[in-house]
Amino acid sequence: MSEHTHIYTFHDKTLAERLEEYTNILSAQGRIVPASSIRTEWICDVELVIEPVGWQALWKISRMTCENYGIRYPTIVKVEVLGMDFPMLNALVKITAVQDDIHLPEKHEVSLVELYPTIDQQNHSLDIVGTAHCVDRLRFFYNYLWMPWDEDEDDDIDWVEQHLERRIRLYFDMNNGIINKETCDIIKSLISEGKEIQKKISTCESLLPEDFQEDDMPEELAQETCTLMKLHFRLQQIKAEMDLLENPSLRGLLGKNQSYNRRKKRSDNENGKSVYYFVWLGGIVKELQELSNKIQTMLPEDAPIKICGYLDDVMDIFETGDTILLGEGNYSIKGSTGLQEGGTIIGISNTENTIISPHDTNMSSSLFDFSGNEILLRNVCIDLGLLQAGIIIRKDCTVIVTGSRIRVSNVTANSNAKWGAVVMPGAKLVLENTIFQELGTAIIIYGTGEVVMNNCQFENCSEGVRLNDNARFTATKCSFENIESGHAVVMETEKITRSESVDVGSELSSVSLKNIFLNECKFFNNHKGNIMLRPKDTAALIHRQINDTTEESACKEAMEL
């Protein structure tokens, strides 16, 4: 990849500028523009503006494509556009440069929204600025303004008049912190679930035969049809909720109600003690007696405790500072609401048999998403399932994980795109006696984030720790022996142009390693602890997007999914 791969960015566009752009593209004087016509309007605009061939871009490979090829996510490569498929809003591209030692077919047909035109072009006669603006408009629209249920909207409804300004304003209100985090989380969850349901609907509909008689329908086909009906019904429920949240006045009422509920909870709990919740899936009397005896040794005699059968139920009523005690079992959760502001989960039995996993893939991109003061996870097994990440820690939050395991149990080639823990700028993660298993990248640390590890192990992970400039990382008596040389600790930096391996503490390196400490750690083939320095050209795009949407406020990420 070239020494300087700069791309066109448009992060400074205002609400008014975005609204004017989309109004000009999508509005039609004197006629309704229904949702079913929106794509046609875009095809006309793209055909008119985008250069059809011969321009260079960075291709941000989608997570699904990374999983299909068994490469790490995120991966960005440099491409040249060979042609356009305007009706599909796709481009035919040829890969011209890659950063890592990866093997991909030379030519691909990719969505235009995955391309980021570079400033430096071989053909200077092209209107690359106009092309970059057009691609940015298309990407912003389909990432943030178009919803999965829009395709089913009636043709007598003017999509532009009904939704355009409201959704642009919703996006900017979320990114500017005008909408509180609780409401942002609701919106984020609804959109994510809607997208997953739309995918399932498309899959189900493709499997149904074109012609079938209801009177003579096989039982298996009847079940598929019933499932499809339920998916459509749930999608309409989500649409109805989002229609309310798009309305600024109704959104404001919801925010006031949430503020009132928080004040009331604080008032009710002012003189109250933190509550302990014992979550147990059931068993024999002897087992219950043993667990009860163990709990008595752990807690004060006057500690308030409640017994529950489902971890998800506790998450709904959990207050900051409460503690959850887990017996053995596989506990599925829909999200970390309640715990994300602070609290503790402790497994009181065997770690490997005390499993926390996602209820379904609609919940979010991670199992836990923490933004509170301090969270403790002890003696639990975090199983990602089909999610992208296990834990996300946000600014000003400290998470302590001890005696635990973070893993992917259903191991496939797709596991290369799985992340164990993601530490955002200004966040801290402390790990003690924890095992990372079968992950793509075990830990990712962004600038000013910090990770401290003691006596931790990495088993069959493609990459151990990946960190950016200004991140802090300390590992003591940790085992990187099962990670191939060059992938144990990787630093992505803007200060080099090609990959190189350096010793910790090396004064010859052009990159400062003063924030990285490896003490008594073991590495592959008994090698000493080297740091792999990797140019940040291919990572800069992802890093910029994550920082723009998470560093200042957790709610800014809400529309990214």
Q: Return all residues near 161 (Cβ < 8 A) that are at least 6 apart.
A: none
Q: Is the pLDDT of residue 63 over 80?
A: yes
Check pLDDT > 70 for residue 410. Answer: yes
pLDDT of residue 218: 72
- If you write DSSP's letter for every residue of 231-259 in order, what string do you get? HHHHHHHHHHHHHHHHSHHHHHHHHHHHH
**If you search the block for the tokens 């005690």, which residue do you land on?**
325
For residue range 466-505, list pLDDT tens digits in order.
999 899 999 999 999 888 766 899 998 887 777 788 876 6
- Judge residue 460's burial from the number of C-beta atoms within 10 Å of its C-beta, 0-12 exposed, 13-18 middle, 19 or more buried: middle
Whether residue 527 has pLDDT greater than 50: yes
pLDDT number for residue 541: 41
513 pLDDT higher than 70: yes
Average pLDDT over the chain reads: 84
Task: Pick the most confident of 59-68, 161-170, 490-499.
Answer: 161-170
Cα→Cα distances 90→105, 137, 437, 478, 520, Å? 17, 15, 37, 46, 51
Q: How far is CA 33 from the centre of its chain?
A: 33
C-alpha R_g of the chain: 25
What single-letter DSSP state applies at residue 118?
B
Closest C-alpha to 58, from 103, 125, 124, 9: 9
What is the mean pLDDT of the segment spanning 97-113?
A: 88
Tell me how far apart the alpha carbons of residues 195 and 58 are, in angstroms, rounded to a whole number.
Answer: 25
Average pLDDT over residues 527-542: 65
More reliable by pLDDT, 226 or 401: 401
pLDDT at 545 over 60: no
Give the pairing type, strands 56-60 and 76-85: antiparallel
State yes or no: pLDDT of 19 exceeds 90. yes
Report how far apart, in Å, the C-alpha atoms of 384 and of each of 341, 402, 421, 540, 550 are.
Answer: 21, 18, 11, 26, 21
Check residue 123 and give its pLDDT: 94
**Residue 547 burial (CB < 10 Å; 0-12/13-18/19+)?**
middle
Which residue type, as a one-letter code, is found at position 281?
L
**What is the pLDDT, as a whole number, of residue 443?**
97
Q: What's residue 390's pLDDT?
A: 93
What local confidence, expressed as pLDDT, does residue 208 receive? 77
Q: What pTM does this model have?
A: 0.75
pLDDT at residue 549 tops 50:
no
pLDDT band at residue 552 using 50, 70 and 90 as cut-offs: very low
Q: Which amino acid is at 360?
A: D
Task: Give the pLDDT of residue 256.
Answer: 66
In three-state form (DSSP H/G/I as H, E/B as E, the rest C), the secondary structure along 325-337 is: EECCEEEEECCCC
Average pLDDT over residues 410-415: 64
Count of residues in the chain: 561
pLDDT of 263 > 80? The answer is no
Answer yes or no: is pLDDT of 260 > 60: no
> How far apart are alpha carbons 404 and 390 in whole angstroms?
12
| pLDDT at 417 exceeding the cut of 80 | no
Arithmetic mean of pLDDT, 103-131: 95
* Local confidence band at 271 (pLDDT 50, 70, 90 cut-offs): low
pLDDT value at residue 255 = 64
State the Cα angle at 386 between 385 and 388, rounded to 5°.
Answer: 105
